[in-house]
């Protein structure tokens, strides 16, 4: 059996949302493999996490298109002839989806159909890996969450993500397009958007600590989450793309060592060497979509594809904080926003 590296050598890859957090880290890994033709499409929407600096050191090794994936005249051209498509584009903000549901629908549903239609018409041989979210499960009935857990999202983002999953799997069943869906949990690491709190609490905690500001935890901070370092998530993406056994499947990505938000914040403050911590009451709009303790089982992807998380929390946080110390000017910006849990 060919290794994932051998699967991608001498092949072409399209990454949607490739200037964002996970997409740019995936692009770096693919260029390290060697002879891989990497193409990126990203809208650089101000509300999302795209940042040209994310690929600054590999910009001569990738092709970059600044465009909306929902523009069929662009995406029809880009999908033609590529071997693998890692579909990471879309909105990930839960609170934004409640405030502007039509925008979330356009990003997480309409644009996904545009991509899938482009594949159906111009490249039905492509392998497509789509990143979804564990938010589709809603409040857990049991832990850890597995793929058999009932689906009951608590926000518009989760509802649209599960719809997008169904689109991808439908195009496999009806049109034979090879698709795989990964339900990600909380991902952290270098190149993550860190200007505001809408795209992940971990990066926001890191920013507050590095600014020697106060991290505000909603409630008592005892809610437990599982956290995956971005390099481990990239491993999962590449394994899913390389495996024909993954076609038509949904896999959770998770970690075996969930941590409370309080312990996470304390760890970040210790590593950063600055920052404070305080508990604050839950805002009503946050309480409505909070799921309490939530972490996922990755037993299925471990058994089927051999994936397990390799990076412990402290190692990942040390590498992440060091990255932002070295590249602070490229990520800090000037936006201000509220507390997050």
Q: What does pLDDT average to in each consecutive run of 10 residues of the chain (341 residues)?
A: 80 97 98 95 88 97 97 97 96 85 94 98 98 95 97 94 98 98 97 85 96 91 95 98 97 97 97 95 66 92 98 98 97 53 28
Look at residue 335 in the predicted model and tell me its pLDDT. Answer: 40
The pairing of strands 250-252 and 178-184 is parallel
> Is the separation of the CB atoms in 11 and 245 below 8 Å?
no
> Is the separation of the CB atoms in 8 and 84 below 8 Å?
yes
Look at residue 340 in the predicted model and tell me its pLDDT. Answer: 31
C-alpha–C-alpha distance, residues 321 and 8, integer Å = 31
Residues, the chain, total?
Answer: 341
* Prediction pTM value: 0.94
Tracing tokens 């925008």 back to the chain, one arrives at: 103
Look at residue 63 in the predicted model and tell me its pLDDT. Answer: 98
Look at residue 311 in the predicted model and tell me its pLDDT. Answer: 97
C-alpha–C-alpha distance, residues 157 and 163, integer Å = 10
Look at residue 337 in the predicted model and tell me its pLDDT. Answer: 36
C-alpha–C-alpha distance, residues 145 and 137, integer Å = 8
């Amino acid at each position: 059996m060919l290794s994932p590296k051998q699967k991608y050598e001498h092949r072409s890859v399209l990454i949607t949302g490739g200037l964002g957090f996970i997409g740019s880290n995936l692009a770096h890994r693919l260029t390290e493999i060697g002879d891989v033709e990497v193409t990126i499409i990203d809208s650089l929407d101000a509300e999302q996490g795209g940042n040209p600096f994310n690929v600054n050191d590999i910009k001569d090794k990738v092709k970059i298109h600044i465009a909306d994936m929902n523009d069929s005249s662009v995406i029809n051209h880009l999908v033609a002839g590529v071997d693998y498509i890692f579909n990471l584009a879309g909105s990930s903000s839960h609170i934004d989806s409640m405030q502007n549901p039509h925008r979330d629908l356009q990003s997480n549903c309409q644009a996904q159909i545009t991509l899938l239609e482009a594949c159906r018409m111009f490249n039905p041989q492509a392998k497509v890996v789509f990143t979804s979210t564990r938010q589709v499960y809603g409040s857990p009935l049991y832990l850890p969450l597995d793929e058999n857990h009932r689906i009951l999202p608590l926000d518009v983002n989760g509802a649209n993500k599960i719809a997008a999953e169904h689109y991808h799997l439908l195009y496999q069943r009806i049109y034979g397009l090879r698709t795989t869906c990964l339900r990600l949990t909380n991902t952290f690491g270098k190149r993550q958007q860190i200007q505001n709190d809408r795209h992940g609490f971990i990066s926001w905690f890191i920013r507050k600590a590095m600014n020697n500001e106060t991290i505000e935890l909603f409630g008592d901070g005892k809610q437990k989450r599982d956290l995956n370092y971005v390099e481990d998530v990239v491993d999962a993406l590449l394994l899913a793309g390389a495996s024909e056994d993954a076609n038509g499947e949904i896999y959770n990505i998770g970690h075996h060592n969930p941590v409370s938000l309080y312990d996470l914040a304390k760890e970040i403050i210790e590593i950063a060497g600055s920052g404070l911590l305080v508990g604050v009451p839950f805002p009503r709009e946050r309480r409505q979509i909070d799921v309490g303790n939530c972490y996922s089982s990755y037993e299925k992807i471990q058994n089927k594809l051999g994936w397990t998380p390799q990076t412990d929390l402290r190692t990942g946080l040390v590498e992440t904080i060091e990255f932002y110390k070295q590249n602070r000017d490229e990520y800090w910006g000037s936006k201000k926003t509220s507390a997050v849990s």
